[in-house]
Amino acid sequence: TCGVLDRSIAVDKIILPSSALRDEGTSYHYAPASDEISYHSELLLTMEEALDQAGIEHVRTKTWTTDAFYRETAAKVKRRLTAGAMVVDMEASAIMAWANFRQAKVYQFFYTADYVDHHKNEWDVRREERTADSMTFFEVAMAIARKLESRSC
């Protein structure tokens, strides 16, 4: 799952991370230090094709990866939005770095779970806003798997 920084993204939307702003520690053990890491473009295109063929709506965007969700301050959220991140997660940059290091094909996607909303300038208690059945997200994974299987035949 991912938190939503940009309110224009609807609840239950599938998110394909194109890159990640690195604000966690693990990715630095697998990739040189940088503010951002990109997702493998060929894998991203494969996922987009699979979802398009299955008629599954999705958004491709940059994510902000942090493992310090209590530090998602209003000022930091604003900076991440300005840098192009529309969502926040806890593992994408580490998985991207590990996959690049190991030359592994990893197909990442998220579904929106909650909104990181600081408009009141106070901590917003997290709440589950997802309404779709979890099987919907399993179907997304299956659509990607079917696309991969068709390419290997």
Determine contact, residues 67/19, Cβ cutoff 8 Å: no
Quick one: tokens of 77? 């959220």
Q: What is the pLDDT of residue 123?
A: 52
Checking if the pLDDT of 126 tops 70, the result is no
Residues 6 or more apart in contact with residue 37 via CB below 8 angstroms: 19, 20, 22, 27, 31, 93, 96, 97, 100
How far is the C-alpha of 33 from the C-alpha of 22, rounded, in Å?
9
How far is the C-alpha of 101 from the C-alpha of 28, rounded, in Å?
11
What is the residue extent of each domain of the chain?
A: 2-152
Read off the pLDDT of residues 40-92 as tens digits, 9 standing for 90 and up.
Answer: 999 999 999 999 998 989 999 999 999 887 788 888 999 999 999 999 999 99
pLDDT (average), residues 10-15: 87
Read off the pLDDT of residues 110-121 as tens digits, 9 standing for 90 and up.
Answer: 988 888 866 666
Helix (H, G, I), strand (E, B) or coil at 95: helix
Q: Which alpha helices (H) appear in 103-133, and where do they start and end?
A: none
Read off the pLDDT of residues 16-37 as tens digits, 9 standing for 90 and up.
Answer: 999 999 999 899 999 999 999 9
Higher pLDDT, 10 or 20: 20
Is domain 2-152 classified as CATH 3.30.420.40? no
Q: What is the pLDDT of residue 86?
A: 97
